[in-house]
Amino acid sequence: MESTIDVSLWRGKEDGHYQNYKVPLRTSQTVLDVVTWVQRNSDPTLSYRFTCRVGMCGSCAMTVNGRPRWTCRTHVSKVVVDGRVQIGPLANLPVIKDLACNMDAFFKKWQRAKGVFAPSKSKADPIEKIAPTSAQRCAADAAIECINCGVCYAACDTVRWDENYLGPAALNRAWTLVNDVRDSGNSGRLAAVAAEGGCHACHSHESCRQYCPNALNPTTSIAGLKRKTTLAYIRGDL
């Protein structure tokens, strides 16, 4: 007889419910494979998101047994408990339907944190050489591999309590630009991240670092922003 697992999937919007499905167990099966199996074999109306299936795009993040994860990089064998797994939408974001969240607030906060490169030169200027070992380049490099998956945002207690809080991903992005010597937007950026709901609201408990699938450390980035904005304030620049 074929082995199966009991999969509990969120169905509907915020006021939805978990619904149970039996899914055949496969070797090296990922949580995303399980969701896809249900959509193809049990209920084609199931809504969810994915693109790359290899941990590159960040679109497949969901809550698996209570913890935010990339579902394409999570093997069922690692998370199944007593033959069961529960899969829901990411926390801290409105549910559109089933496993798909509305990411608008998440991306608007990137803009509010001025997480957009502001060039200091034009294409007519010579390309500036940046020493890969310079302290600022190393600080930017340490935080730059973010793929906007929202896992840290879903794990952050401060986002849960305060919907105005910019959150770990937007602040982490701002920190990479603060350290980019080619960027010219730092006065506005520091003011944006120092404002209410910015870096000083972070309580440094590191859920973002703990759950980031890319092993980034937004808490360290936010600590850098706290130092930088405090210094700017003392100098009268903020």
Residues in CB range of 199: below 8 A, 6 or more apart: 166, 171, 193, 222, 225, 226, 229
What mask, x for binding ligand FES by CB under 6 A, covers residues 68 to 97? Answer: --x-x-------------------------
According to CB under 6 A, which one of 181, 203, 227, 233 is a site residue for ligand SF4? 203
214 binds ligand SF4 (CB under 6 A): yes
For ligand SF4, the closer CB: 30 or 221: 221
Report what 67 binds from ligand SF4, ligand FES, none; CB cut-off 5-8 Å by kind.
Answer: none
Site for ligand SF4 contains 182 (CB under 6 A): no
206 counts as binding ligand SF4 under rule CB under 6 A: yes
Using rule CB under 6 A, residue 108 touches ligand SF4: no
Query: Does residue 95 bind ligand SF4 (CB under 6 A)?
Result: no
Asked whether position 42 contacts ligand SF4 by CB under 6 A, the answer is no
- Pairing between strand 4-11 and 84-88? parallel
Least Cβ distance, residue 84 to ligand FES (angstroms): 22
Nearest to 116 by CA among 176, 49, 68, 61: 176
115 counts as binding ligand SF4 under rule CB under 6 A:
no
Q: Rule CB under 6 A: is residue 151 a binding residue for ligand SF4? A: yes
- The answer to whether 205 contacts ligand SF4 (rule: CB under 6 A) is yes
Is 7 a binder of ligand SF4 (CB under 6 A)? no
Q: For residue 146, state whether it binds ligand SF4 (rule: CB under 6 A).
A: yes
- Choose among ligand SF4, ligand FES, none what residue 51 binds, the Cβ cut-off being 5 to 8 Å by kind: ligand FES
Q: What is the DSSP string of the chain?
A: ---EEEEEEEESSTT-EEEEEEEE--TT-BHHHHHHHHHHHT-TT-----S-SSSSS-TTEEEETTEEEEGGG-BHHHH-BTTEEEEEPPTTS-EEETTEE--HHHHHHHHHTT-S--BSS-TTSPPPP--TTSHHHHHHHHHTT-----HHHHH-HHHHH-TT---HHHHHHHHHHHT-TTB--HHHHHHHHHSTTSGGG-----HHHHH-TT---HHHHHHHHHHHHHHHHHTT--
Contacts with ligand SF4 by CB under 6 A lie at 58, 146-152, 155-158, 168-169, 172, 202-208, 212, 214, 216, 218-219, 222
Contacts with ligand FES by CB under 6 A lie at 50-53, 55-60, 70, 72
